[in-house]
């Protein structure tokens, strides 16, 4: 089970010295999280976010920073740029700890609303509209290294370790075994992989930062859109069409969807829920990261069923 990694001022000072920073005025522990322990550290001239990795290995963390650095180079306005150590590295190692340091961004996670959905949709569309340097892009990790796309979901549903309710849900939603979806070429680039509304910060009623690129990588934009809609367009835990419409209004103002993407959008929303459900299975059921969340994957199966039934009624 993951636990919050507690450090004192001495450890924080030693870590920040690796970045050429000194003189801590105040240190405040932030959200517990799953993969990280987070601290706001106030210095004389700046505030920084000090993160200690609890779940990811150092390679995964380094790959994530490479994506963030690339996005900064491509002028994506919502991602944090990691600070570099004096050595030039982007991931620190200090005694048993390793992690990263970012500039601290003021803001709070929003609640789900039409306005939130529209702004998050616009932020994701901006990510999907980046003009890529394919020489550099091809050196970044694929999303499948840290997340689950349509093919991975299909293959997992066929394994003996797959929970019965997950397998049955997949077969109910996709009796064709995703044949048409998997045979369709979708536009690809860098995707976030987990852009729920609570992975954003808003300041003065505007989106100021997109957080937690832990599942980012090269992947299909449509899958990314489905994941984000499934965790952002919520009312009382259900994905509802009015909020989806607000989300798409913000998204398509920047990047209009193709006719093919629109055809498979409902598939993508359900796959988004199955993707994050599988992420929870791997961490909480198979790895025992948090026994209290062992069956939390089922919440997303219920959400997928509610969405499926809503769309059937709308036809």
- Tell me how far apart the alpha carbons of residues 134 and 140 are, in angstroms, rounded to a whole number: 10
Question: How much is the pLDDT for 289?
Answer: 66
Domains 9-103 and 114-314 share a fold: no
Partners of 48 in the β-ladder: 41, 103
Structure tokens, 203: 């300041």
Q: Under CATH, which number does the domain 114-314 receive?
A: 3.90.1200.10
pTM of the model: 0.93
pLDDT by residue (tens digit) across 151-178? 999 999 999 999 999 999 999 999 999 9
Q: Do 120 and 221 form a contact (C-beta atoms < 8 A)? A: no
Structure tokens, 267: 């598939």
- Tell me how far apart the alpha carbons of residues 268 and 254 are, in angstroms, rounded to a whole number: 19
pLDDT by residue (tens digit) across 111-165? 889 999 999 999 999 999 999 999 999 999 999 999 999 999 999 999 999 999 9
Q: Is the pLDDT of residue 45 over 70?
A: yes
In this structure, whether the domain defined by 9-103 belongs to CATH 3.30.200.20 is answered with yes
Of 194, 185, 213, which is closest to residue 272 (Cα–Cα)? 194
Per-domain residue ranges for the chain? Answer: 9-103, 114-314
- Kindly list the strands in the beta sheet with 36-43, ordered across the sheet, starting from the edge strand earlier in the chain: 24-29, 36-43, 47-53, 97-103, 92-94
Q: Do 202 and 123 form a contact (C-beta atoms < 8 A)? A: no
Q: Do 230 and 223 form a contact (C-beta atoms < 8 A)? A: no
Q: Do 251 and 192 form a contact (C-beta atoms < 8 A)? A: no
Q: What's the angle, vertex CA 129, arms to CA 123 and CA 132, rounded to 5? A: 125
Length reported for the chain: 315
Residue 148 DSSP SS3:
coil
């Amino acid at each position: 089970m993951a636990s919050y990694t507690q450090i004192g001022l001495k450890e924080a000072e030693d870590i920040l010295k690796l970045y050429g920073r000194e003189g801590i005025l105040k240190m405040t522990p932030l959200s517990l999280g799953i993969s990280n322990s987070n601290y706001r550290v106030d210095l004389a001239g700046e505030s920084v976010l000090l993160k200690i990795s609890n779940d990811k290995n150092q390679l995964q963390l380094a790959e994530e920073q490479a994506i963030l650095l690339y996005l900064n180079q491509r002028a994506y306005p919502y991602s944090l740029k990691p600070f570099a150590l004096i050595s030039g590295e982007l991931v620190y190692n200090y005694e048993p700890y390793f992690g990263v340091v970012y500039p601290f961004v003021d803001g709070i996670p929003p609640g789900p609303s039409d306005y939130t959905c529209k702004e998050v949709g616009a932020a994701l569309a901006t990510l999907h509209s980046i003009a890529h340097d394919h020489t550099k892009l091809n050196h970044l990790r694929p999303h499948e290294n840290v997340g689950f796309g349509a093919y991975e979901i299909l293959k997992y549903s066929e394994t003996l370790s797959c929970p019965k309710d997950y397998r049955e849900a997949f077969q109910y939603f996709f009796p064709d075994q995703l044949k048409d979806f998997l045979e369709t070429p979708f536009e690809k680039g860098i995707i976030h992989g987990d852009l729920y509304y609570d992975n954003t910060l808003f300041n003065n009623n505007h989106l100021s930062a997109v957080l937690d690129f832990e599942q980012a990588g090269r992947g299909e934009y449509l899958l990314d859109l489905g994941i984000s809609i499934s965790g952002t367009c919520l009312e009382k835990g259900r994905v509802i069409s009015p909020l989806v419409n607000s989300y798409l209004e913000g998204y398509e103002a920047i990047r209009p969807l193709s006719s093919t993407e629109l055809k498979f959008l409902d598939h993508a929303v359900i796959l988004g829920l199955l993707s994050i459900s599988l992420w929870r299975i791997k961490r909480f059921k198979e790895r025992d990261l948090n026994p209290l969340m062992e069956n939390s994957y089922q919440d997303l199966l219920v959400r997928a069923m509610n969405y499926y039934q809503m769309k059937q009624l709308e036809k």
